Amino acid sequence: MSPDELVYLGILAASIPVGFLFRYLSPPVKQGAALLLGLSVAIVTCQIHTLHSLVTVIGTWIIIKISWRHAPALSLGWSFLYLLFFRLVTWFGLPAPTPFANAIQLLLTLKMVSLANEVNSFHMEKKKDVSSFAKSPVIGGLSQVPSLYDMLSYSYCYAGIMTGPFFRFQTYVDWLQQPSPQTLPGWGPCLQRLKLVPLYGALFISVNSVFPLAYVRTDEFLDENFFFRYFYMIAVFFVFRMRFYAAWCGAEAGFITAGLGCYPEKALSKPGGGPTVNYSPDPSADEMYDFKTIQNIDCYNTDFCVKVRHGMRYWNMTVQWWLHHYIYPNAPFRAYALRAGWTMFISAYWHGLHVGYYLSFLTIPLCIAAESAMESSVRARLGPSGQNIFDWVHWFLKMRSYDYMCMGFVLLKASDTIHYWASIYFSMHIIAIACIIIGRVLKGGKKEGRRVEKEDKRRGRED
C-alpha cells in the first residue's frame, strides 16, 4: 500500500470508534466538534490547499445569498469551474494540491450543488405556503436557510470528509437533531458492514501484488499472449473493486457508529437522498432503523446484477443519486442514450481531466445501447430457459465491459488506455457495435425494446 493509502486507512479506522462519542454530545457541541475534527484533518493533510475548499464554500454562500432562485445553476457552474481551476493551478504558478485536497474538493462539489438545490426548494415551498413542508427532510426540505457557520460545519464534517459517502444537508441536520442517538442501532450494523472488509483488503493486497497495473505499460506486456492480456483486465478490475469495497464499507461503518444517516425503515430512504416519504417516529413502538441513506456500495449486486445499466446503480450509490437528481434531468437532450451520455460526461469531468476517464465513461452509453438492442431483438423471442441462458451470457459480457472500461479509469492517459485496448483488439467495442447491428437487422423486438427503455426510465425515476 502507498503512503497515501495508509493515511486514508488510518482516518477511516479512527472514525469508527470516534463515531460512538458523538452520540453523547448535544446538537451544538456535536456540530462544533464535527467541524473542528474535520477541519483539523483537512488542514493536517492538505495544509495550505485547504483554502481551495474554503473558497468554494464561501463562493456558494455568496451565490445563495445573492440569488437563491438561480442558485442551483450558478452553484453548479461555480463549483465545476473552480474544480477546473483547482486541477490547473500549476498553470498559474501555484503548487499542485495534494491527493487529500482533491478528495475533499470532489465531495465538497457535490455538497455545495446539493445544498444550493435544497435552499432553492425551501424558498419555492415557502412561496407556496405549504403548511407541512417541515415534516420530511425530502418531501418538504429545509426548515430554514443555513448560515455560513452551518455551511462550513456541513462542508467540513469529519464523517466521510475524504471518502464519502455523500449526504445532503438535511441529512446532516437530522443527525444533529436526533432526539436519542444513544438508543439507535450501532454495533450490530457496524460489524455487519465490516465483516468482509478484512477479506476485501487481503484480496486487494494479494492480487495487486501478482497483477500490478504498471506491467500493462511495459513493452514486455505486449509479448504476452492474447488470453493473458485479456485476463489481465479482469484481475485489474477485481483489484479495483476490492479496494473500493474495503474503503466504502469502512467509511459507512464510521457513519453508522456516529448514527449519521440513520432513519426508520418506514421512511423508505434512498442512498444519498434520504427518506422518500413523510414519517413520524412512534415512541410507543419498537422502530426498525436502517442506514440506507449512507449506503455507497452494494457489493453483491455490483458483481452479480445482469445489466450494465444496473451495475451503475450499485456502485458509488450516493454519487449516482446526485447525478440522477441534479445532472440527468437537466441534460440538454431528450433521448435516453444522449442523456445518459451527458451524465457520464459530467461524471468523468467530476472525476478529473485525464482522458482515460472520458474514454471509459463514454463507453457506457454504447454498452447500454448494445444490451438494449439484444434484449429487444433476441431475448424477447426466447422462452424461459433461453432467457436464462441469455441472462448468464449477458452477465458475463457486463462484467467484461466493466473490466474493459476500468482500464481507462486506472491507466488515465489516452495513450496508455488505447495502447491496452488495442492489445486486445478493442474487443468490447467491437462486440458492443456488433450487438447494435444485430439488433437493428433483426428488428423483431422493436416494441419490446421501447418497453425495456421505458421500464429502465421508470426505475430510474423511482431511484
The span from the first CA to the last CA of the chain, in angstroms, equals 36
* Residue range 407-436: mean pLDDT, rounded: 96
Question: Residue 271 burial by CB count (10 A; 0-12/13-18/19+): exposed, middle or buried?
Answer: buried
Can you read off the three cell numbers belonging to residue 31?
456540530
Q: What is the structure's pLDDT at 140?
A: 45
- Output the pLDDT for position 278: 85
| Residue-level pLDDT at 398 | 97
Mean pLDDT in residue range 278-291: 78
Find the mean pLDDT for residues 194-207.
Answer: 97
Q: Which of 113, 41, 51, 117 has the alpha carbon at shortest distance from 79?
A: 113
Share of the chain above pLDDT 70, in %: 92
Mean pLDDT computed over 140-164: 92
Give the mean model confidence (pLDDT) for residues 81-102: 95
Which pLDDT does position 463 carry in this prediction?
A: 52
The answer to whether 170 touches 274, Cβ cutoff 8 Å, is yes
Percent of the chain with pLDDT over 90: 83
pLDDT for 455 = 59
pLDDT score at 39: 97
* Beta carbons of 154 and 146 less than 8 angstroms apart: yes
Are 341 and 365 spatial neighbours (Cβ–Cβ below 8 Å)? yes
Q: What average pLDDT does this structure show over 184-198?
A: 96
- Summarised one tens digit per residue, pLDDT across range 14-57 is 999 999 999 999 999 999 999 999 999 999 999 999 999 999 99
- Rounded Cα distance, 292 and 296, in Å: 8
Q: Which residue has the higher pLDDT, 222 or 335?
A: 222
pLDDT of residue 103: 96
| CB half-sphere exposure, 74, CA atoms < 13 A | 16
Taking the whole predicted model, whether its pTM rises above 0.95 is answered as no
Segment 423-458, tens digit of pLDDT: 999 999 999 999 999 998 987 545 544 555 565 556
Provide the pLDDT confidence category of residue 136 given band limits of 50, 70 and 90. Answer: very low
Alpha-carbon torsion angle 201, 205, 210, 212, nearest 10? 110
Residue 182: pLDDT over 70: yes
The DSSP code for 130 is: -
For the purposes of burial, counting CB atoms within 10 Å of the CB of 440, is it exposed (0-12), middle (13-18) or buried (19 or more)? exposed
Number of residues in the chain: 463
Question: What average pLDDT does range 164-173 have in this prediction?
Answer: 96
Tell which wins on pLDDT, 124 or 98: 98
1 — pLDDT class (breaks 50, 70, 90): confident
Give 257's Cβ-side CA count (13 Å radius). Answer: 23
pLDDT of 80 strictly over 60: yes
| Cβ contacts of 454-459, under 8 Å, gap ≥ 24 | 456/309, 456/336, 457/336
Instruction: Determine contact, residues 2/142, Cβ cutoff 8 Å.
Output: no
pLDDT at 141: 75
Inter-residue contact 159 to 15 (CB < 8 Å): yes
Residue with cell 474493459: 404
User: The cell 438535511 sits on which residue?
Assistant: 170
Q: Does 142 score more than 70 pLDDT?
A: yes
- For residue 180 the three cell numbers come to 436519542
Question: How far is 270 from 262, CA to CA, in rounded Å?
Answer: 12
pLDDT-derived band at 105 (thresholds 50, 70, 90) equals very high
Band (307; pLDDT cuts 50, 70, 90): very high
